Each structure stands twice: as C-alpha cells, then as structure tokens.
Amino acid sequence: MTILITAGPTQEAIDPVRYLTNRSSGKMGYALAEQALGMKHRVILISGPTQLDIPAGADFIPVESAREMFTAVERFISQSDIAIFAAAVADYRPTSVPEQKIKKSSETMTLELVKNPDILGSCRDVFHYQGVLVGFAAETEKVEEHARGKLLRKGCDLLIANDVSRQDIGFDQDENEIMLITAEETIPLPKDSKKHLASHVIKEALLISQEKAEQ
C-alpha cells in the first residue's frame, strides 16, 4: 500500500523574514509515517517545518505554506491508497507579502488575512480522490459531535478527534488521547504514546481499505 501523510504546521509569510505559524510539532504525523514504514508500506510524507528527523525510507516532500502543501497533495495523492491529514494547516495567510522587510513606523499595524485552501476538504470534490481518507479534528468542546460533523462534511472515512483544551496531551506532547470516528461507530482509545496510537490509526485505515476493496 502507499500511504500519503501530511504533518507539521505551515508557515505563512508576512514579509521575507517573518511568518505566521502554530504550535504543531509534527510528532503525530511523523509517528504515523514511522508506523506505516515499519509495516513495509510506501510512505509519502508531506511536511511543514519541524525539528524532527525525517523517517528513513519515506518519500519526503518538504513544504512551508498551506498553498505549497495543497500543491504537493494535489500532485501526489492519486498515487496513494490511504491519505492521512495530520498537518495543522494555517486557516489564514497574509493577503499580500511585500518583497522588502516591513519597517517599524506607526504605533499600531493591521495585518489583513485571507483564507487558505482547505486541503482535506478538496480531496473528494477537487482531486477526485477515491482512496481511504483520514482527517484529524482538534476540538475544545463537544469533541465527538464536532468531529462527526467534520467526517461527513469533508468526506472522510475515518476521523481522529482529540480535545486540545487539555494541557497534558496533544500539541507538542508525546502522548495523546483520541477517538477514532467512522460513519458507524466511535472508538475511544485510552491515553497512550503517539507511537502506539499511530499504529491503531494505521490498522483502522487498512481495515477500512480492505472493506472498501471487498464492496
């Protein structure tokens, strides 16, 4: 099988030396890549900037901005049987990026932002992807309800939901507590290392892939 994984944050340029980003470490996406490689699958890892080592054996596509990630996914997704979207893509980017560094002048400054493309949300309608689609949902309230809505809206087969209002898990931590959500069921998993959770996610995605093939 070929598994495409997006991981890490995106960086949205403000000027040549500044950018907007978020606290994603990339750990979950890289753990998914490691697990899939360990099971001898081909991995296409499309990653925003992280401090992590590139998993040995992965086809590694480094990107910076959401738009670059969009283009990379558009180019490679048709090669994959399963696509897992673990990246924390910036929802907005600065409307325009000057060629020169912005000088400090007035006391206040306003940054205008424009919406980035929804990469996961483009898979079915824009990229016409037919493989197994796995999304992540970072929620702060009504976690299961919001995640189930996202599963349907984005045409996912599987959605991994986590509660980011908790300090002990999630962003930049080695552990997480997640729910696997499909159209039929919700499987809550106890708090565990991202490595172990990644193996559950890959196994569930492979199971769904098998079920789809038998239909």
Q: Could you list the residues that contact ligand C5P (CB under 6 A)? A: 6, 66, 85, 87, 89, 116, 118-120, 135-137, 150
Selected catalytic residue, list 22, 116, 162, 176: 22
Nearer to ligand C5P, 45 or 66 (CB): 66
Residue 134 identity? V
Buried b (16+ CB within 10 A) or exposed e, 89-103: bbeebbeeeeeeeee
Give the distance from CA 45 to its chain's centroid: 11
Toward ligand C5P, which CB reaches closer, 119 or 132? 119
Least CB distance to ligand C5P at residue 150 (A): 6
Minimum separation from the CB atom of position 123 to ligand C5P (A): 8
Active site residue 22: yes
* Residue among 13 and 102 whose Cβ is closer to ligand C5P: 13
Residue 213's SS3 state is helix
The secondary structure element, H or E, covering residue 194 is helix 194-214
CA distance 10 to 22: 8
Minimum CB separation of residue 149 from ligand C5P in Å reads 10
Give the residue numbers marked as catalytic: 22
